[in-house]
Homo-oligomer: A and B are copies of this chain.
């Protein structure tokens, strides 16, 4: 009864602050906010939708006063259930989708000041007239705040870095002192005036504070790209190819995406409109989508990027390179971007987002494939990976039509086995670019040293002593 009274009073205060349309209470209105893009399907107390920084501050003050737990949500495209509530119904969702009025571009500084609720596509649309873009290449369309909270990577990391490397400044609303604005909103590339506090909030799954605005470094759009789908001699040759390209075309290399034969075949099988770029009977065991990009125009003193790539591959032909489709960028990227959807058609996906030192990728893949073939022979490997940054989606498909019925215990056993291999044998990590949330928190607890967990918890406790923010508790007591 006490709890119902508290909730009712809370909702009234929130409605006074935000107006009726700023507070969603009906279960049907809240449903879309309570279900995650891949995992997470809960129930929320209500959804609040501030449209100004002042309203965010007000919400935090009210929540702290009422000791009301809350989850911050951007575009709700995250893949680890960090932006959706559990089933208890006790969480308030703070959606920043309406906090998007501010996009201020400084073309000379090559930076942009942007509200957290602005989406990646909206930002890139605003930047386009300046020939600029925010170079995090994703299939999804997340909010900028969410991208910072997750430290999104993407397919072009090797050329442009991850989100962290492009964040120049942040504005954060703190839980403690309640609703205070931590203004770290500089537009500086060099700034060493004390500990760089903004780093705390990047890639912390929204657990340390509420990011409401950012200053981002942006980049000039490339003026030409060159593409090739390369069939390497064998797995070891993938790394040889990467080394040669980095050494000889280093500043151009913008993507190096490994695609397994299984993943390629799934795309060709599921999408008949996509034709095999190789001869029909000749689907390779493995291939690599290579992209170079450059700010130099083609007309510029006869500089043609595709020529450079072709010449480089030609020198490797017969040794490192066995076959290659040259050019045809749109077609090749379409294949790459169709993998995830193709796999969904083929069965239940068991997705992985691991990373390791590049030098471990060949051995890891061989071990992981052998392990699946031996213990789970009905599971199909459909992996692909960003080899250049060590990120690897060792995705598996549990086909619809097999005698073994899908069961979650087996899936969990497979996850454990693969993560153990990645982390314990190959010094990798279980979450490369998706971050940590309820979906994979147990693996954080398993693989992170107790000392690191303790320190992460100490920080979290300082920033949110009542543990109101988010579902993810990074802490652990030292024994």
Contact = CB atoms under 8 A, between A and B. Distances in A.
Interface of A: 106-111, 131, 150-151, 153, 157-159, 161-162, 164-165, 174, 177, 180-184, 186-197, 199-200, 202-205, 207-208, 219-220, 239, 242-243, 246-252, 294-297, 300-303, 307-308, 311, 355-359, 386, 389-391, 427-436, 443-444, 447-449, 451-453, 455-456, 458-460, 462-463, 474, 478
Nearest to A254: B251
Given A183-B451, A193-B430, 8 more contacts: A106-B357, A182-B449, A190-B429, A194-B204, A200-B200, A249-B295, A250-B294, A301-B311
Contacts of A460: 195
Q: How many copies does the complex hold?
A: 2
A387 to B, nearest CB: 10
Contacts of A448: 193-194
Contact of A208 (B108, B161, B195): B195
Contact of A193 (B190, B358, B359, B444): B444
Nearest to A443: B193
A193 B252 contact: no
A247 to B, nearest CB: 5
A98 to B, nearest CB: 26
A189 B462 contact: no
Contacts of A200: 195, 199-200
Contacts of A311: 300-301
Contacts of A220: 246-247, 250
11 contacts: A108-B357, A109-B390, A110-B246, A157-B189, A159-B251, A183-B449, A189-B390, A191-B355, A195-B460, A196-B203, A197-B456
Complex A-B, nearest 8 residue pairs according to Cβ-Cβ distance, in ascending order = A199-B199, A250-B295, A190-B432, A251-B251, A108-B359, A189-B389, A190-B355, A109-B357
Contacts of A307: 301
